[in-house]
């Protein structure tokens, strides 16, 4: 059966069916998936519950996986995964709302792209829904390719060569989260070009989101105004999509041409376990 690629909105996101992504994918099949990713930025697969090994195998088709923390505040620390979850990884017990690990996850509710604060930015993330609460806990997406496209020619030229400083400590501080010195080690601010070009389609986007602290060399107010304007363009209603998860859903999202955010759920009464692999763009020269 050929893969069916069905656009979800007129702007971005597609549902893919007719492929079992838990089986080894031949070159032709993966090429179709990769082309859909380059075109639609967000790929949704349903009814494909994955094991950890299957998630790694599928994710590695997109490129090398980023390393993960051996210890720390993400509930996935010590595994190859980042976890968005209120469940303790060893005991399986619900983590209390006032625990640091839950507080840390609050920053996911601000529009962001994963790992823009790393020296090599991420190409994409793969998030698998393992346990889904009966309501709440949706994830929202917005297209920063659409944000770029909405600019006038003059504005596009003005931002073409801008460099952005991304800072993980800055973004977490916005929700009042303070890191220990140990946690901040290796998290120095990094600089990346604002405008990104998709190699396959030639389409441009802006890599923004909550980790984007400032435009290098600009006064703070102008810098903030530009970043806010670009985010406002990306998150215009017509450029967004909200995904209500079902267990077994798998979503691949672009971290250079889209932003995303988590939404609330009842963490005291319901369980949620989402497991993420993050694929590096693996190309410092292009960063
Ligand atoms: C992530 C993330 C959103 C969510 O895994 O990177 O932002 O809804 N997840 O859990
Ligand atoms: Mn994220």
As a whole number, mean pLDDT of residues 7-20 equals: 98
Per-residue b or e along 79-100, where b marks 16 or more CB atoms closer than 10 Å to that residue's CB = ebbbbbbbbebeeeebbeeebe
- How many angstroms separate the alpha carbon of residue 158 from the centre of ligand 2? 29
- How many angstroms separate the alpha carbon of residue 108 from the centre of ligand 1? 6
Q: What is the per-residue pLDDT for 68?
A: 83
Within 10 angstroms of residue 67's Cβ, the number of other Cβ atoms is 10
Q: What is the pLDDT of residues 99-124, one digit of tens each?
A: 998 988 889 999 999 999 999 999 99
Q: Residue 35: phi, psi to the nearest 5? A: -65, -35
DSSP-based three-state secondary structure for 30 = helix
- Cα 4 to Cα 17, 18, 44, 62, 286: the distances in Å are 5, 6, 12, 19, 32
CA 176 to chain centre: 21
DSSP-based three-state secondary structure for 5 = strand
Q: Name the β-bridge partners of 95.
A: none
Rounded to the nearest 5 percent, the helix, strand and coil shares of the chain are: 25, 25, 45
- Residue corresponding to tokens 């973004």: 171
- Ligand 1 pocket: which residues have CB below 6 Å? 82, 84, 108, 114, 125, 127, 139, 260, 262, 274, 276
DSSP-based three-state secondary structure for 237 = helix
Dist CA 258 CA 210 (whole Å): 12
Whether the predicted model's global pTM rises above the 0.85 cut: yes
Pocket-testing residue among 59, 68, 84, ligand 1, by greatest number of atoms within 8 A of Cβ: 84
Question: Mean pLDDT in the chain?
Answer: 94
Q: What is the pLDDT of residues 234-262, one digit of tens each?
A: 999 999 999 999 999 999 999 999 999 99
- The number of the ligand 1 atom at minimal distance from the alpha carbon of 274 is 10
pLDDT reading at 140 higher than 70: yes
What is the helix (H) or strand (E) element at residue 16, kind and residue range?
Answer: strand 14-17
Which domains are delineated in the chain?
Answer: 4-280 (3.60.130.10)
Nearest to 137 by CA among 232, 254, 245, 253: 245
- Which two three-digit tokens encode residue 190? 């990094």
- pLDDT bucket at 283, cuts 50 / 70 / 90: low
- How many angstroms separate the alpha carbon of residue 114 from the centre of ligand 2? 5
């Amino acid at each position: 059966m050929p893969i069916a690629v069905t656009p979800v909105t007129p702007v971005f996101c597609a549902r893919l069916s007719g492929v079992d992504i838990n089986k080894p994918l031949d070159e032709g099949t993966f090429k179709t998936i990769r082309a859909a990713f380059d075109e639609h930025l967000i790929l949704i697969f349903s009814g494909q519950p994955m094991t950890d090994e299957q998630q790694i195998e599928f994710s590695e088709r997109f490129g090398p996986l980023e390393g993960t923390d051996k210890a720390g505040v993400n509930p996935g620390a010590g595994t190859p995964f980042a976890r968005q979850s209120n469940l303790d990884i060893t005991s399986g017990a619900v983590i209390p709302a006032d625990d640091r690990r839950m507080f840390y996850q609050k920053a996911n509710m601000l529009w962001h792209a994963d790992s823009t604060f790393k020296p090599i930015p991420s190409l994409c993330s793969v998030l698998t829904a393992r346990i889904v609460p009966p309501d709440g806990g949706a994830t929202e997406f917005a297209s920063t390719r659409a944000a770029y496209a909405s600019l006038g020619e003059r504005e596009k030229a003005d931002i073409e060569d801008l460099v952005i400083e991304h800072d993980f400590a800055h973004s977490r501080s916005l929700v009042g989260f303070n890191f220990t010195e140990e946690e901040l080690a290796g998290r120095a601010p990094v600089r990346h070009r604002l405008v990104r070009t998709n190699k396959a389609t030639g389409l441009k986007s802006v890599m923004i989101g909550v980790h984007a602290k400032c435009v290098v060399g600009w006064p703070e107010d102008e810098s903030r105004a530009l970043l806010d304007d670009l985010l406002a363009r990306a998150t215009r209603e017509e450029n967004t999509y909200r995904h209500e998860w079902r267990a077994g859903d798998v979503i691949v999202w672009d971290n250079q041409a889209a932003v995303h955010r988590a939404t609330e759920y009842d963490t005291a009464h319901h369980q949620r376990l989402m497991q993420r692999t993050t694929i590096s763009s693996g190309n410092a020269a292009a960063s």
